[in-house]
Amino acid sequence: MRTDIYNYMLSRRAMLKGAAGAAAMAAVGGPALNVSTAFAQDDLRAAILRIPGVGKGQPTDADWQKVGEMTLGPTKQNVQEGEFKGVELSFMGLNNQNVHNVLFRGLSKAWADYTGATINWIDLAQADYNARLQQSIATGTVDFDVIEMGAPFEGDVCGKGLASEMPDWVAKQIDMDDYVGYLKAPVGTWDGKTYRVSCDGDCHNFNYRSDVFENAALAEEWKKAGGQGDWKAPRTWQDVNAATKFLKGKQIDGQDLYGYLDPAKGWGGFGFYFLGSRATAYVKHPDSKAFLFEQDTMKPMVNNPGWVRAIRDVLDCLPFEPADQLNADPGTTGFQQFLAGTGSMLSWWGDIGSNVNTNDSSVIQGKTAFDILPGSPDVYNHAAGKWETLASGPNYAPNMAYIGWGIYVMARVDSDPKKQKAAWSLAAHLGGKDISLWMAAYPSGFQPYRQSHFNIPEWVGAGYDEKFIANYLASQANSYNHPNAAIEPRIPGIFQYYSEAEDILSSIYAGKMTAQAGADAIAAAWEKRTDQLGRENQIKLYKKSLGM
């Protein structure tokens, strides 16, 4: 039913477009054809962004299928209809929050119908993803042809020759030059070869409740309580903790107020990123790319005074956060707390911004604003072993947590040229320029990652409020382009380090260990892990990932 409505709308739009094109041709002659093509492209982007339209409910499978159908143009330029008939592809990815693979199914239906290929989906929960992938690699049972994978795993997969090298036609089809700077090589490459079609660009940004930090009554109370400076959105982690303590016990619109939300429960290793977001301003010095391990020895930096300060910040804040915070993992803080109106500050991936106005469970429409992660008045210089105050002011270091999802084709398809082309065509379709804009704008698990995603009028055309979207996109762009961005190392076993840390952090947050003792325990566990994984190899790959 819904598809029929779209078809009707599209045919009407196509007719109007045709009329406009004819008028333009009549007015300016031949060259207007090019203008018309450009308009068609813009029109397509505008049309898909109106599916279903911001504020018109969460997209459904019919919407995904329609978007997939409308963005099939680049595929048609490289693939004949029915060219992959008989080809069967296995695609492994996530099914978190009913997005990722769930969404890919709808988006790739038209591709499968056109090319004749069939796709078998292997769905994994976020917490199971790492284990499933590692077991496949270690036991030589790679049973998938295409995988949705984050750049941190490139060392495990591309470094072991398990991925297929990207053909040139794919690079042209997806317009890789359009990627934001930090997603260009070396990300997605290994030993000079390109393996990845990006479909996401990850960074943690700072999400906060504008209604709370613009509230006059709270501003007055803040002043009365002797709060430092004006009542406004925090810009340093010290401000974050001060605001969190202040907000405890306050109310807005009859609802209890809370400040920052720390996820204190592990999430299969992914939870460590959230301590990282608190720590990068303290430990990512502008003079060095390293912030997790020393670059020449892989000696952990996680127990240096900067990281310990970040852990202490969490301990300092937790008593003022919701009472169940010790049992809250990142999924809870993002979707069950912040989007549902609990808490007024949160570090998360860009999903929060794209869900505020498009997720049916969100109650914070029109009450949210964004920025890059808070900074710190001083930064710990690990090499010099001392805290420094920078002449440029507070140190900011956006956390490029996970470096975004990408689509990778496995080397096992290389022996069959037809299958190989089919796999790459599917990857190129899902990582295409136009389809990616739609994914960035609606709940998908993916955030903006192309320069072309930062065209504000396109988002406004979809129904976004201009002030809101300009603010959101700025928080993303400013994180990606930040000169002191903290980019995690793409080394094998990185999630083992994170998982080990999560266990110990859980003990620290529960009061069983001090911050320093816990940080030392994490460092000791990481040292052991590096030895087990092979220190020399880890150092080599670490340096490579740092671009050294």
Partner 1 sequence: MNSVSTASGIEAVEQHVPPKRRRLGTLLIRGATLLLCAIAAVQLLYAMGYLSWGFANWQPVFIAYILWSAAFCSGLVLRDGEAGWRAVFVLPALFFTLALVIFPTFFGFYIAFSDWNLQSAGGRSFNGLDNLRQLIGDPYFWNALGNMVFYVATVTVQYAIAFGLAMLLNAGIKAQKFFRVAFLLPFMLSPVAVSWMIGKSMLEYRFGPVTNLLRELGWSQPTLLTSPWLAKTTIALMDAWVWIPFMMIMILAGLQALPKDVQEAAKVDGATGWQGFWQITFPLMLPVSVTTIVLRVIFQLKLADIVINTTAGGPGGATDTISSYIFRVYKDRSNVGYGTMIAEVYLILIIIFVALLLKFTSRYMQRAV
517 counts as binding partner 1 under rule CB under 8 A: no
As measured in angstroms, the least distance from the Cβ of 537 to partner 1 is 4
Q: Pick one of 12, 85, 193, 512: the residue that binds partner 1 (CB under 8 A).
A: 512
What character string, x for contact with partner 1 (CB under 8 A) and - otherwise, covers 338-357?
Answer: --x-x---------------
Q: Which region among 3-11, 83-91, 329-337, 395-403 touches partner 1 (by CB under 8 A)?
A: 329-337
Q: Which is nearer to partner 1, 297 or 507 (CB)?
A: 507
Work out the widest C-alpha separation in the chain, in whole angstroms. 78
As measured in angstroms, the least distance from the Cβ of 291 to partner 1 is 22
For partner 1, the binding residues in 221-280 under the rule CB under 8 A are: 264-266, 268-269
Return the CA Rg of the chain.
Answer: 24
329 counts as binding partner 1 under rule CB under 8 A: yes
514 counts as binding partner 1 under rule CB under 8 A: no
Q: Pick one of 111, 405, 495, 542: the residue that binds partner 1 (CB under 8 A).
A: 495
Collapsing DSSP to helix, strand or coil, 251 comes out as strand
As measured in angstroms, the least distance from the Cβ of 154 to partner 1 is 13
As measured in angstroms, the least distance from the Cβ of 1 to partner 1 is 32
Beta bridge partners of 251: 256
In one-letter notation, the amino acid at residue 319 is P
CA–CA gap between residue 409 and residue 495 (Å, rounded) = 22
Q: Which is nearer to partner 1, 259 or 492 (CB)?
A: 492
DSSP state of 226: T
325 counts as binding partner 1 under rule CB under 8 A: yes
As measured in angstroms, the least distance from the Cβ of 535 to partner 1 is 9
Tokens of 400: 């490029």
Q: Pick one of 238, 336, 365, 451: the residue that binds partner 1 (CB under 8 A).
A: 336
Q: Pick one of 166, 247, 500, 515: the residue that binds partner 1 (CB under 8 A).
A: 500
As measured in angstroms, the least distance from the Cβ of 127 to partner 1 is 8
CA–CA gap between residue 466 and residue 469 (Å, rounded) = 5
Residue 186: asked if its preceding bond is cis (omega within 30°), the reply is yes
CA–CA gap between residue 396 and residue 486 (Å, rounded) = 10
Beta strands in 325-463 (DSSP E): 345-348, 368-371, 379-381, 386-388, 405-409
As measured in angstroms, the least distance from the Cβ of 104 to partner 1 is 24
| Of 220, 162, 239, the residue nearest 193 (C-alpha) | 162
What character string, x for contact with partner 1 (CB under 8 A) and - otherwise, covers 105-134?
Answer: ----------------------xx-xx--x
Helices (H), 328-412: 330-331, 351-356
As measured in angstroms, the least distance from the Cβ of 302 to partner 1 is 16
Beta strands in 151-258 (DSSP E): 189-190, 193-194, 196-198, 205-209, 251-252, 255-256
Phi, psi (5° rounding) for residue 82? Answer: 75, 10
Beta strands in 375-494 (DSSP E): 379-381, 386-388, 405-409
Judged by CB under 8 A, the number of residues near partner 1 is: 46
466 counts as binding partner 1 under rule CB under 8 A: no
For partner 1, the binding residues in 141-180 under the rule CB under 8 A are: 156
533 counts as binding partner 1 under rule CB under 8 A: yes
Distances (CA, A) of 353 to 153, 337, 346: 26, 14, 11
> Using CB under 8 A as the criterion, which residues of the chain lie in contact with partner 1 when the complex forms?
127-128, 130-131, 134-135, 137-139, 156, 264-266, 268-269, 322-327, 329, 336-337, 340, 342, 492-493, 495-496, 499-500, 503, 506-512, 529, 532-534, 537-538
